[in-house]
Structure 1
Amino acid sequence: MKVLTLNIPDGLDVDNQQLAMLVASRLYELGKLSLGQAAEVAGLTKRAFAELLGSYDVPIFNFPASELSGDVANA
């Protein structure tokens, strides 16, 4: 796994865990990471990560509407 070093302003009131969750949730939302990969980046279990996604306004199921309508038609 790659390691990234960020310079964050001293006055910014976020800790390392919050930053890891922000990055992981955004990469998950963009489809760049799976749920398990994003949970690992955030340093959480899959379940804990999935439970926290809502507080970051990220849906746990991230499918395009076109795929959803196709799935409904196949059901």
Structure 2
Amino acid sequence: MIQITVDIPEGSLASLHKDPESFAREMRIAAAVQWYARRELSQERAAELAGLSRPAFVDALGRYGVSLFQADAAELVREAMDG
């Protein structure tokens, strides 16, 4: 596992009412959700990055208002017509 150090202003943590550990955990989840939503990570890899099981990652997607399904309407129509 690779470890990355990020400098965060103390005021930001205070404003969010987070301790460093919970902030780091939430930041990993937020990044994984964002990269999943932008289709840069699969659900499996995003869950791994977030440090969550896949069912827990699916729950996180719901909390962030991100669809579990990555296909848009045009892709679904194309797949239906090709199938």
TM category (shorter chain) comes to 0.7 to 0.9
2:37 pairs with 21, 29, 48, which one? 29
When the two chains are superposed, the root-mean-square deviation of aligned CA atoms in Å is 1.8
Question: Which has more radius of gyration?
Answer: 2
- Match of 1:9, as an amino acid? P
Match of 1:50?
58
Counterpart position of 1:5: 5
Paired residues in the alignment total 75
Q: 5+ residue gaps in structure 1?
A: none
Letter in 1 for 2:66: V
Between 1 and 2, higher relative CO (CA 8 Å, sep ≥ 6) is seen in: 1
Deviates more, 1:19-28 or 1:65-74: 65-74
| Structure that is richer in helix per residue | 2
* Alignment correspondent of 1:18: 26
Shift of 1:23: 0.4
